[in-house]
């Protein structure tokens, strides 16, 4: 049975009761349109906690005016069925006014190397929006552990940094990206893709794997990335925001081969027409 809770005060009250029975709380924040990527976070939370809380909130603060806030899918009935199937105890489903009441004036902003570029260049308000909502949710739920996907790798780094800086008493647990058989990372936005666009989208991970393999085999990083960008455009992508090799911990750019102790992360963002896809994979030297 999944209980639906719409206010922070009710959420606090039920979780206070759970805690008084010494229950551990696992939390999965989402924007809904749930798929097996979200499901993997819920499974991880279910296996490691007595009580699982999932939030569904399409956060207006992380969308720029030209982005897809109004069009973002909100299939709430099928989402609730999905939560029941994953044995989630509580769905926190607040209204925008519950989260951002009139007069709300606080922004959590991470200003460091992790937010210097990549997504931050192309979506300048995105991480402030994410950090503000995640902080508010972490304070409201106060979970033992919160689960985030590697699918949004830079976001995961931002949340780890913020949790550490603010001394929030929640452990941040990352979960590997869930993909369909082609390698395409599951995403709520994949449902926007036509069948032709889907075939193009399925090339993104394949091409990232090729770049990683070529770097692993000793090809120069710049030429491997440039060849990969050409392949993305040949495959049908219409615009590339970035394809970039980074240190997996600091996100600083890597342009020369590294010792085996350093793990690289290859991150990319590219468009098929107006649909923007992101992905990332580990790179070993």
148-167 residues near ligand AMP, rule: CB under 6 A: 148-149, 151-152
Q: How far is the CB of 59 from ligand AMP (least distance, A)?
A: 8
Could you confirm whether 38 is annotated as catalytic? yes
DSSP result, 194-258: -HHHHHHHHHHHHHHHHHHHHHHTT--HHHHHHHHHHHHHHHT--EEEEEEEEETTT--B--S--
Structure tokens at 65: 């005016």
76 binds ligand AMP (CB under 6 A): no
Q: How far is the CB of 281 from ligand AMP (least distance, A)?
A: 12
Exactly one of 3, 21, 35, 38 is catalytic; name it: 38
For 111, residues 6+ apart whose C-beta sits below 8 A from its C-beta are none
User: C-beta of 131: minimal distance to ligand AMP in Å?
Assistant: 13
Least Cα distance to 265 among 62, 140, 114, 81 occurs for: 114
Q: Which is nearer to ligand AMP, 118 or 178 (CB)?
A: 178
Is 204 a residue that touches ligand AMP (CB under 6 A)?
no
Instruction: Decide: 83 and 52 in contact? Cβ < 8 Å.
Output: no
5 or 175: CB nearest ligand AMP: 175
Residue positions annotated with a catalytic role: 38
Residues that bind ligand AMP (CB under 6 A): 30-31, 37-38, 40-41, 148-149, 151-152, 175, 177-178, 185-188
């Amino acid at each position: 049975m999944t209980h639906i809770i719409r206010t922070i005060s009710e959420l606090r009250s039920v979780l206070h009761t759970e805690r008084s029975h010494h229950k551990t709380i696992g939390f999965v924040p989402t924007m809904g349109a749930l798929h097996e990527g979200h499901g993997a976070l819920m499974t991880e939370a279910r296996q490691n906690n007595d009580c699982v809380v999932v939030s569904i909130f399409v956060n207006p603060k992380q969308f720029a005016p030209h982005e897809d806030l109004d069009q973002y899918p909100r299939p709430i009935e099928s989402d609730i069925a999905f939560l029941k199937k994953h044995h989630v105890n509580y769905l926190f489903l607040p209204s925008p006014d519950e989260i951002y009441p009139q007069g709300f004036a606080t922004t959590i902003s991470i200003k460091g190397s992790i937010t210097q570029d990549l997504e931050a260049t192309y979506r300048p308000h995105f991480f402030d929006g994410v950090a503000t909502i995640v902080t508010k949710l972490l304070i409201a739920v106060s979970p033992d552990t919160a689960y985030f996907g590697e699918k949004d790798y830079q976001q995961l780094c931002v949340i780890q940094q913020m949790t550490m800086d603010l001394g929030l008493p929640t452990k941040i647990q990352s979960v590997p990206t869930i993909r369909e058989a082609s390698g395409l990372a599951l995403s709520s936005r994949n449902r926007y893709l036509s069948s032709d666009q889907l075939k193009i989208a399925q090339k993104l991970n394949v091409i990232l794997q090729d770049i990683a393999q070529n770097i692993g085999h000793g090809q120069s990083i710049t030429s491997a990335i440039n060849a990969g960008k050409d392949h993305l455009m040949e495959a049908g992508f219409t615009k590339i925001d970035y394809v970039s090799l980074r240190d997996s911990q600091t996100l600083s750019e890597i342009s020369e081969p590294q010792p085996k102790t350093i793990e690289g992360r290859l991150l990319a963002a590219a468009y098929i027409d107006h649909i923007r896809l992101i992905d990332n994979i580990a790179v070993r030297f």
